[in-house]
Amino acid sequence: MADRKDMPHVVIVGGGFGGLNAAMSLAGAPVRVTLVDRTNHHLFQPLLYQVATAGLSPADIAVPIRSVFSRQRNVRVLLAEANGVDLPGKRLLLDKGELRYDYLVLAVGATHNFFGHDEWGTHALGLKTLDEALRIRERMLLAFEGAERTTDPEARKRLLTFVVIGGGPTGVEMAGAFSELATHVLSKDFRAIDPSQARVVLVEAGPRILAAFPEDLGKRAEAQLASLGVTVEKGRPVARIDDDGIAFGDGERIDAATVVWAAGVRGTKLSRALGVELDRGGRVKVSSDCSLPDHPEVFAIGDMAACRDKNGVDVPGLCPAAIQQGQYVARTIRAEIRGKPREPFAYLDKGTMATVGRKRAIAMMGKLELAGFLAWLAWMAVHVFFLIGFKNRFLVMFNWIWQYFTWKRGARLITTHTGVEPQLLLAAAPDGPVPSLRTTDAASKPAPTR
């Protein structure tokens, strides 16, 4: 790339919606781009809950970042982790080495917010990466396996109880999908247990679920969840999460082997390492052109940034916002290279949606509100459209059509050596009594043994 050495170097950190779109929108621009991500794939996060509930395979919703850019010659991709930024020196500090930049676009997203109880992260499983989705899937499948084997009714009840914490779209989608998995997909697969007796509880600290939606739509979703057999606990903040389940502030417990955290996000370590002003959620405060107030050549976009756009709108932490910001930053850099002044960012709210099971959803766009099957069709169409890669779109559509008609979920694999997975299998002899054993919960995968 000898001809590019004197071109401005744009370094983009993060291969999610924001970073990917920024790089894609710089195609053909007179810059050289380095895109850094600590995984090798772009993840379609809105469908991650489907991997977690064994509906889709990882490869259906993820695409290798390299293949997205294989033909875009001004982009090179680096598998690396960013640890910090030397802002005066214009250097991005990596796990190994560094990158000097002329423009820096930070788009690393957010991490889980346990509201001061980071220790809960060892018991409750989050849902932001493929790794986490696969762990939830494993935990959930093993819970059913453990319930099948145990003769202890208390243990069985605990294993067949699934708690999802957080009443936003992610939590609602997870809870609905869990319930359908238990009630329909797995219903004939076991002999000692009836999976449809599984109990799914959605816990929300605030007075209603889907608080970002109008109240009537939130109520519709609640009714949809109820028809799927999901118990919704509103106005009940969690006070404690441990090996055995959760406890509310009043001491009431729910014993559950699987607890999923979808209750909040905050900024990552990288955001803190910048040394700039953050908001209460740890997000980086940026100007209306998405740049750091004192460093116009550094942009922060997507979930990691707190941006008030040109119309005074607080840009929400949604995928369409990250996409728009990524495209905006690329346009801004191109214009600036040509000597033009910057225009502020303007967020265009195209509507939001949340799905509840296989044929229900709620959606709103401006004043238009949809609920039920129509909303679900809209949800499907939008999500398939935004998937990157024709093959992925086809596979996801195929998988959904298959599941719609057959209820079979094909991605129900436990791939780590689980025969002696201690955390969930309770000791039981199907033909005779054996004392019940239970070991401690572990969020990390045990090292496989043969």
Subset of residues 393 to 422 that bind a copy of itself, contact rule: CB under 8 A:
394-395, 398, 402, 408, 410-420
CB-nearer residue toward a copy of itself: 191 or 280? 191
Q: In the set 2, 3, 71, 348, which binds a copy of itself (CB under 8 A)?
A: 71
CB of 342 to a copy of itself, least distance (A): 27
The total of other beta-carbon atoms located within 10 Å of residue 289's CB is 18
CB of 70 to a copy of itself, least distance (A): 4
**Which 324-363 residues touch a copy of itself, going by CB under 8 A?**
none
CB-nearer residue toward a copy of itself: 1 or 348? 1
d(CA 320, CA 317): 9
- By the rule CB under 8 A, 314 interacts with a copy of itself: no
- By the rule CB under 8 A, 149 interacts with a copy of itself: yes
**Which 10-49 residues touch a copy of itself, going by CB under 8 A?**
34, 37-41
CB-nearer residue toward a copy of itself: 54 or 202? 54
d(CA 350, CA 253): 40
CB of 154 to a copy of itself, least distance (A): 17
CA 58 to chain centre: 13
- By the rule CB under 8 A, 430 interacts with a copy of itself: yes
User: Is the Cβ–Cβ distance between 217 and 210 less than 8 Å?
Assistant: yes
Over the window 177 to 216, marking each residue x when it contacts a copy of itself by CB under 8 A and - when it does not, the resulting string is: ---------x-xxxxx------------------------
Report the Cα–Cα distance between both ends of the chain, in Å, rounded.
Answer: 48
- By the rule CB under 8 A, 439 interacts with a copy of itself: no
CB of 48 to a copy of itself, least distance (A): 12
d(CA 54, CA 364): 28
- By the rule CB under 8 A, 85 interacts with a copy of itself: no
- By the rule CB under 8 A, 96 interacts with a copy of itself: yes
Bridge-based pairing state of the strands 238-242 and 245-248: antiparallel
Query: In this structure, what token pair is assigned to residue 83?
Result: 């640890």
- By the rule CB under 8 A, 2 interacts with a copy of itself: no
d(CA 221, CA 223): 5
CB of 417 to a copy of itself, least distance (A): 6
Q: In the set 115, 226, 391, 440, which binds a copy of itself (CB under 8 A)?
A: 391
Q: In the set 79, 346, 365, 381, which binds a copy of itself (CB under 8 A)?
A: 79
Q: In the set 53, 425, 438, 441, which binds a copy of itself (CB under 8 A)?
A: 425
- By the rule CB under 8 A, 130 interacts with a copy of itself: yes
Bridge partners (DSSP) listed for residue 298: 104
d(CA 42, CA 190): 36
Cα–Cα distance list, 168 to 43, 78, 172, 336, 377 (Å): 20, 33, 6, 38, 20
CB of 88 to a copy of itself, least distance (A): 17
Q: In the set 129, 250, 267, 298, which binds a copy of itself (CB under 8 A)?
A: 129
CB of 11 to a copy of itself, least distance (A): 10
Unique residue bearing structure tokens 């949604």: 318
Query: In this structure, what token pair is assigned to residue 98?
Result: 């560094």
- By the rule CB under 8 A, 118 interacts with a copy of itself: no
Give the max Cα distance, the chain: 81
Active site residues: 173
CB-nearer residue toward a copy of itself: 138 or 289? 138
Count the residues of the shown chain that bind a copy of itself, applying the rule CB under 8 A. Answer: 82
194-216: b (≥16 Cβ within 10 Å) or e = ebeebbbbbbbbeebbbeebeee
3-state secondary structure of 23: helix
410-430: b (≥16 Cβ within 10 Å) or e = ebbebeeebeebebbbbbbee
User: Angle 202-118-20 (CA atoms, 0-180°, nearest 5)?
Assistant: 80
CB of 373 to a copy of itself, least distance (A): 24
CB-nearer residue toward a copy of itself: 62 or 221? 62
CB-nearer residue toward a copy of itself: 121 or 344? 121
Give the CA-trace dihedral at 405, 387, 266, 225, to 10 degrees. Answer: -20
